[in-house]
Amino acid sequence: MDLVWTLCDGNPQLFYQIVNIPFAFLFYCLSRKGHLSVINRYVYLTLGGFILAIVTMGPFSLLLFFSAVLLLLLIHCLHPTHNHQWMLGLQMCWQTCWHLYLQYQLYWLQETPDSRLLLAISALMLMTQRVSSLSLDLQEGTVTSRFQNSRPIAFLSYSLNFPALLGGPLCSFNTFVQSVDCNATPSLAPYLGRLTSKIFQVLVLVSVKYPLKELLKSLTFRINSACVCQNIIWIWILSLLLKMNYYVHWKISECVNSAAGIGFHGYSGSGKPSWDGLSDGSPWVTEASSRPSAFARQWNRTTAAWLRRMVFKRSNRSPLFMTFGFSAWWHGLHPGQILGFLIWAVTVQGDYKLHHFLHPKLTSRWRKCLYVCLNWAFTQLTISCVVVCVELQSLESVKLLWSSCIAVFPLLSVLMIIIL
């Protein structure tokens, strides 16, 4: 266990996710061997989530249980066409109350919040995704709300199942039900191959973090330093390290879901197991994105798809800014988060305008290569500003950015919007 704790770098959320893998593997084995009926599979997943919440969050697990009960009550009492507005509104208000309480502790009382509360709020944000996705499915008619057979336990299991309790990726209700109900689970060889591949990716990402930490320590950040490039490189490396924390968390969460067989729903035409893209994205593809808009689509892919479905496609005015504004609200409305998502929205808008202006002029191969290289560097530096603002949360992140002159790059996006 000490080795696992060291691997997790002292992060309890990652530690609990790694501990979840054997229980998810046991669920897969019992289901595949036919030792669990469909109802018992839902009970296993729900009971596992219930126990995990109590063990990891203590009394703050009530935050999640309240949302799960609220979901069942709204499904039972309201017509499907009205369910989504009530579910999303009440859930976001409930989540926002706890985010504001967290800010009250941090900025007013100057206290360090309980780690169990932080874990509960993080899990509550993930539950908001699941229950709002389900309520929209009910409204659109892709899921029936009739309480029959195993439906109530399926709704409860979807909101509280232990593979998704502490981490993504977001799985639709229909995919979840197909994964649990499906008897044609993948054979052991491709299943173990996929799981081994995910674990190997986690180990690679963890190993990359250590040289980044040493490199960050070797460089010195000096306020108002004459060496502007060194400060900018320091901020960029810091953002890379922060992004690595996300990548490791996403891949471990994918391991838990893969170990439980969540996301599998049959075979493709070629005979390969179909997992329906249940992934938050590839770190290599994300970091190679040469445009801020492409980075936004690849970053935390299932959450990006959820935001697009919840806000972007349903907004009549300024859908881009409404989407990033809602994302800031969902993340907690810390000062740094509001600024970070504003920078991201402006950067993506500027990228659209610049690409529309320059694309017809990229007539030769060298021009295209130059555009891709410069835009990749610009994407990396502007996203560094976003990550530092969102992660540091307070206004101290703004001072850090301005003292490094890296804030010039988001301002270039503002100029693009004005000029182009």
Q: Which residues on neighbouring strands pair with residue 273, listed in sequence order?
A: 267
DSSP, collapsed to helix, strand or coil, labels residue 114 as: coil
Q: Return d(Cα 278, Cα 265) in angstroms, integer.
A: 11
Instruction: Answer whether 345's CB lies under 8 Å from 324's CB.
Output: yes
Query: Bridge-partner residues for 267, per DSSP?
Result: 273
The residue among 230, 235, 280 whose CA lies nearest residue 255 is: 280
* CA separation for the pair 89, 304 (Å, rounded): 20
Catalytic (active-site) positions: 300, 331
**Cα atoms found within 13 Å of the Cα of residue 326, Cβ hemisphere only:** 22
Residues 6+ apart with CB under 8 A from 332: 99, 102, 103, 121, 393
The amino acid present at 199, given as its one-letter code, is: I
Whose CA is closest to 261, among 204, 193, 191?
191
Nearest to 255 by CA among 37, 83, 414, 25: 25
Measure the CA–CA gap between 162 and 350, rounded to whole angstroms: 41
Task: State the CB neighbour count (10 A cutoff) for residue 277.
Answer: 12
Neighbours of 340 (CB within 10 A): 29
Query: Tell me, what amino acid is at 158?
Result: Y
- CA-nearest of 169, 173, 149, 178 to 87 is 173
Whole-angstrom distance, CA of residue 81 vs CA of residue 68: 20
Report the C-alpha gap between 310 and 330 in whole angstroms: 12
- Is the sign of the CA dihedral 90, 93, 95, 98 positive or negative? negative
Residues contacting residue 109 through CB under 8 Å, at least 6 positions apart: none
